[in-house]
A and B are shown apart, each in its own frame.
Chain A
Amino acid sequence: MTLKLYLDNPEIGSGFDAVKASLPGADQADLNQLRGDAMTQFLDCGIPGPKVEEWKYTSLNFLAKENYAPALRNDDQDEIKSLFQRAYMENIAGPVVVFINGYINRELSSYPDEKGLSFTVLSENTEAFRAALETKEGASALNNLNRALATDGYHIDISAGTHLKQPLQIIHIATSATDMRSLRTRTNIMAGANCKAEIIETFIGAEGERYWGHMISDVKLDEDADVTIYQFQLQGKQAIHMMELHASVSDRATFTHTSLQLGAEISRTELINSFTGEYAQINLRGAYLGRVKQSHDIFTRINHDMPNCQSDQLYRGVLDEGGKSAFQGKVVVARDAQKTNADQSNKNLLLSRKAEANSKPELLIYADDVKCSHGATVGELDADQLFYLRSRGMDEVAAKGLLVAAFVSEVFDNIADETLRTSFREKTGDWLSHEVTA
């Protein structure tokens, strides 16, 4: 009668045994030990099933049947070049680091070289790799799976007081040689006191392949630090994209995460944030646009464990024919976190009969002197607005496009850099114009 909460797939365990000798760092006994432990923890826990509340809107049933072995290195230069060109923002000056199929690519990368910034690629530094694979208390099942099988990633250390002059671009490419394989990377970002940094991450992949891009990030902000992460998710149409980010934010620091989800068949963005100091701020913003079998799942959690902090969440969804989305945002205000300000806003636009939007903005509040609110809406385009534009001679497609673009653009209003803001808007526009031709 009752469904099993967690699913098993013994193939994942045996698959790990088959590949572990060929994983990066396999010659290091302690790395092997960490990977083995992580796999044991994953197998002990199992794959979250549909009855696990956190995974209510994204089914991991495929994982119970399929094993995604780590992708192999690839050097099809033509394909890499074309994907790289689509992802690279050349009008944004600054270093760029490229991972292909989950491995660093030296030719396309230009490592940052700035005073106060230390950039390390995991596969090139055992120390950093070990730190990234270290056991995490209370880690999720998928985090443990990632630890066991991660092939690469990066570690950034920004020393106190450093203001990075240029944003750092990171591009994750999946080539067509990745069918039924996984790309697992890990990221560590340590932001020192009073530093300022911007990181732009782009995920892109070959269209026809069913691959699984899976990244886990840990971000730590010291006092007064200001870190902004931008993410463009442009994965291939058949792909699975999963991203889990943990941020801890100290006194007076500001962490901002802005994402745009356009690609992948199944995408899941999990942002777990905690305040470790007072007067700090967390801003989470994002837009997700989906059609044809696409499913986007945004899962956020903000732990207000400290008083006087502020969090702000703004998510906009546009769902067309066959698109499906879920926003699950949870704000937890602990007993002592007085003077907390928390706001969540999630609005969704349904453009077609076969679209679906789910929203679950949760507030759990244990302190009394707080201001917390959330709002969620789902609806279609306003007929009056559409009529207004049509009456001024705009055709229906253009009018719809304009309204949808305006609906989404709020998410990007606060991006200071104009080139970047334009880039977010253009990519949204590309998606919309596709709709028109499709």
Chain B
Amino acid sequence: MVATEEARQTVEKVAEEYKYGFVTEIETEKAPKGLNEDVIRFISAKKNEPSWLLEWRLDAYQKWLKMEEPTWAMVDYPKIDFQDIYYYAAPKSAEDGPKSLDEVDPELLRTYEKLGISLKEQEVLSGVAVDIVFDSVSVATTFRKKLKEVGIIFCSISEAAHDYPELMKQYLGSVVPVTDNFYSALNSAVFTDGTFVYIPKGVRCPMELSTYFRINEANTGQFERTIIIADEGSYVSYLEGCTAPQRDENQLHAAVVELVTHDDAEIKYSTVQNWYPGDKDGKGGIYNFVTKRGACRGKNSKISWTQVETGSAITWKYPSCLLIGDNSVGEFYSVAITNNYQQADTGTKMMHIGKNTSSTIISKGISAGHSQATYRGLVKVMPGAENARNFTQCDSLLIGDLCGAHTVPYIEIKNPTAQVEHEATTSKISDEQLFYCLQRGLEIEDAVALIVNGFCKDVMKQLPMEFAVEAQKLLGISLEGSVG
């Protein structure tokens, strides 16, 4: 959020000009509990969607009804009652929030402080109804203006359905089909929010795009749908999430992200996920079932996923790349930290389809407390994928003797010109390293954070600057209480 400082100043200026901002209609209505066709019609009506989208949702719902929950991941959680969930709730109004920082959970404030978040931003993050409304609407407006000048479309998925129906029809569900898996079908039926980005030919997006700046992002959507299209020769870097801890009353999250790159285009997608992981005894916490996939459709195109996963009680997430275009490149850099009773089953899929495609996978898993972290990945080289290259490295670090670290790679090669390498190690923080740090006067928690940061360096250096500094601090905080 360092870069937002500048943005905030702009905002304050702009806020005076646009005193009322562009506040979208907020109703505190909730759809009735449970899921049926009426709820889907309700959501679609609320979003004022065109009829083709409603039909698409209803079709997805019918397909979802016939599907079964996947059970292959190494995560253990009580059965989800899908009829006991609200699928639509309008964002809370500001009055419901705490009146000042004094009313906010001190634990949360302490974390903000450690992350170096300014007081003002702390208020916003914890939902305090501040006097001078820090209006994200205005930020977005200035940013959108700038983007519009170069022809970039950056809006919510609902707006896109209205304003750019042709693009939406063309790309929605084109990378992650409705029936891809149980949760993608569910998302297709009920998605309520998300981002749509289109970068036109030859445009290099002038700034890092982030959900943080987008309208209506007061509440992170429970069923988000993100589509990013990079047309020929374009480039965009997209940031998702935020290092600050996020509390959300919705326990189930099932997002879908679809990326498409055409010839010579590149998308860099970075995620920092720090949703509520549950308390020390494993009570509560978010269930995060995400389907993320990028299709490198064009020649020489590139998709790079970077993720730092520290939150959520359950993480089920496999950002993947379909390397269809010749010479296309897929990358996956991941740090997954689990502590207390968290469980993370995450990894990637690299499907080599075009010629001369290459992929890199670097995954670092750190487990502490009673947690379980699993890397699950697939590298597949199809018969036509001449000269495919893959390098995979998965390292796991165990902190404490009650946690688990697992590596489940699948390597499926059908072309002799492929060169595929996979290596994995599992170890603990060595006593020598710890002793060395302690001897030089570091506190044990700082020493662990230092060692863990070193362990994750290959991934952290892939993060955009804005994220990198805070993400490093986040690693330390996530592991608090795991040593000593």
Contact = CB atoms under 8 A, between A and B. Distances in A.
Contact of A352 (B404, B409, B416, B424): B416
A365 B414 contact: no
Contact of A365 (B72, B405, B422): B405
A86 interface: no
A377 B420 contact: yes
Interface stretch (B125-133, B138-146, B291-299, B392-400): B392-400
B462 to A, nearest CB: 23
Contacts of A355: 414, 416
Contacts of A377: 419-422
B420 A374 contact: no
Interface string B374-409: 000000010100000000000010111111111111
Interface residue range, chain A: 35 or more
B66 A358 contact: no
B408 A360 contact: yes
B383 A353 contact: yes
A189 interface: no
A335 B404 CA distance: 8
Contacts of B399: 368
Contacts of B90: none
B423 A375 contact: yes
Interface in A286-342: 335, 338
B409 to A, nearest CB: 7
Contacts of B418: 350, 378-380
Contacts, number: 119
A333 to B, nearest CB: 8
Nearest to A325: B413
A338 B401 contact: yes
Contact of A379 (B400, B409, B419): B419
> By DSSP majority rule, is chain A's interface helix, strand, loop, or mixed?
strand
B412 interface: yes
A2 B401 contact: no
A367 B419 CA distance: 33
A380 B428 contact: no
- Chain B CB within 10 Å, residue with most, of A357, A365, A371, A378: A378
Contacts of B381: 378
Contacts of B406: 362-365
Interface residue range, chain B: 35 or more
> By DSSP majority rule, is chain B's interface helix, strand, loop, or mixed?
strand
Nearest to B416: A350
A372 interface: yes
A375 B422 contact: yes
B416 A380 contact: yes
Nearest to B380: A358
Interface in A354-398: 354-380
Contacts of B401: 335, 338, 367-369
Contact of A350 (B404, B410, B415, B427): B415
A90 interface: no
A351 B413 CA distance: 12
B150 interface: no
A107 interface: no
Contacts of B416: 350-353, 355, 380
Interface string B414-444: 1111111111111110000000000000000
Contact of B410 (A360, A367, A370): A360
B106 to A, nearest CB: 32
Nearest to B383: A353
Contacts of B419: 377-380
B411 A378 contact: yes
Given A374-B423, A375-B423, A368 B408 contact: no
Contact of B426 (A360, A370, A379): A370
B95 interface: no
A365 B396 contact: yes
Contact of B422 (A2, A359, A380): A359
B428 A368 contact: yes
Contacts of A375: 421-424
Nearest to A332: B406
A363 B67 CA distance: 30
A53 interface: yes
A312 to B, nearest CB: 15
B404 A364 contact: yes
B68 A2 contact: yes
Contact of B413 (A350, A352, A371): A350
- Chain B CB within 10 Å, residue with most, of A338, A368, A380: A368
A351 B416 CA distance: 6
Contacts of B408: 360, 362
Contact of A373 (B402, B421, B426): B426
Nearest to A377: B421
Given A335-B401, A335-B402, A359-B411, A53 B72 contact: yes
A368 B398 contact: yes
Contacts of B420: 376-379
Contacts of B404: 364-366
Contacts of B405: 363, 365
Contact of B407 (A335, A356, A362, A371): A362
23 contacts: A1-B66, A1-B67, A2-B68, A352-B416, A359-B422, A360-B409, A361-B409, A361-B424, A363-B405, A363-B424, A364-B404, A364-B406, A366-B403, A368-B400, A369-B428, A370-B428, A371-B426, A373-B423, A373-B426, A374-B424, A375-B423, A378-B420, A380-B419
Top 3 A-B pairs ranked by shortest CB distance?
A: A350-B416, A368-B398, A359-B411
Given A357-B412, A368-B400, A373-B425, 7 more contacts: A53-B72, A348-B413, A350-B415, A353-B415, A365-B406, A366-B403, A377-B419
